[in-house]
Amino acid sequence: MKRIYLSYPLGVETPRFAENPPVSMWPQFSTDRGDVFNQSFYMAINHSGTHMDGANHFNPAGKQLWENEVDTFVYEKVVVLDIEKGDDELISKNDLQPYEKELSSCDLVIVRTGFYKVRDDAYRYGQHNPGFTKDAGDYLMTFPNIKAIGMDIPSAASAQNVHPHGVEFHQAVLGLGRSDDRAILIIEDMKLDGDLSGISKVYALPLLIQGLDSGPCTILAEF
């Protein structure tokens, strides 16, 4: 069995989406300054780096991440869709429909646009990322088996197309206006640069912080 990370480490150089603030870190105690141990503060919005959007992110009636059962974060039927998109381009229902068979049998769908290749260009990555349309979200919600969608972009919303496309995609998959608690969780800024063929299981483990809609997420894949 082989295991790899599908998440990036969080740090002060982590690229940020649109106008989100950067990550900050500073020491409280430091062995470099003569203290006997190291201990630090860090400050980051809960949508920094690799993170998971809980239903409550866009849905006031939706669950915060800590309120979900543990099985919500374990995926045993994973499909990777290579849908190449460039700066500011949008993923629509038409892009997803050719994969209807795969979508009907997975619990985690990973969309790899290839935009991870420009992550070192923080401005381009955060300001000109591809994103999803509302009809893509509505289409994904027709598959009751899907628990989460992951992607190699900093947000499911294109920074140049937040309104209406990005907002409405999030609202659709996070269950806004539904009479039940159905939602597809969103995993953004995934590390998808390796060979992903043969994934047998994925664990997406968010920080469980009471009072927050979403949070940083460590993702492990088994082959």
- What are the 10-residue block averages of pLDDT along the chain, 223 residues in total? 98 98 98 98 98 98 98 98 98 98 98 98 98 98 98 98 98 97 98 97 98 98 98
Model pLDDT, residue 128: 98
CB 220 within 8 A of CB 202: yes
Model pLDDT, residue 37: 98
Omega of the bond prior to 9 within 30 degrees of 0, cis?
no
Start-to-end CA span in the chain (Å): 6
Counted domains in the chain: 1
Model pLDDT, residue 130: 99
Q: Quick one: tokens of 13?
A: 């150089």
Q: Which long-range contacts (CB under 8 A, 24 or more apart) does 18-27 make?
A: 18/126, 18/127, 18/155, 18/159, 18/162, 20/45, 20/47, 20/48, 20/126, 21/45, 23/48, 23/49
Place of tokens 């998808």: 192
What is the rounded distance in angstroms from the CA atom of residue 30 to the CA atom of residue 63? 38
Q: Where are the alpha helices (DSSP H) in 59-166?
A: 93-96, 100-103, 122-127, 134-140
Model pLDDT, residue 42: 98
Sign of the alpha-carbon torsion through 201, 207, 213, 214 = negative
Model pLDDT, residue 47: 98
What is the rounded distance in angstroms from the CA atom of residue 24 to the CA atom of residue 43? 5
79's enclosing H/E stretch is strand 78-82
What is the rounded distance in angstroms from the CA atom of residue 182 to the CA atom of residue 185? 10
Exposed/middle/buried for residue 14 (C-beta within 10 Å: 0-12, 13-18, 19+): buried
Model pLDDT, residue 155: 98
Model pLDDT, residue 191: 98
Beta bridge mates, 102 = none
Q: Where are the alpha helices (DSSP H) in the chain?
A: 93-96, 100-103, 122-127, 134-140, 167-173
Model pLDDT, residue 116: 98
Q: Which domain holds residue 106?
A: 3-222
The CATH code of the domain that includes 190 is: 3.50.30.50
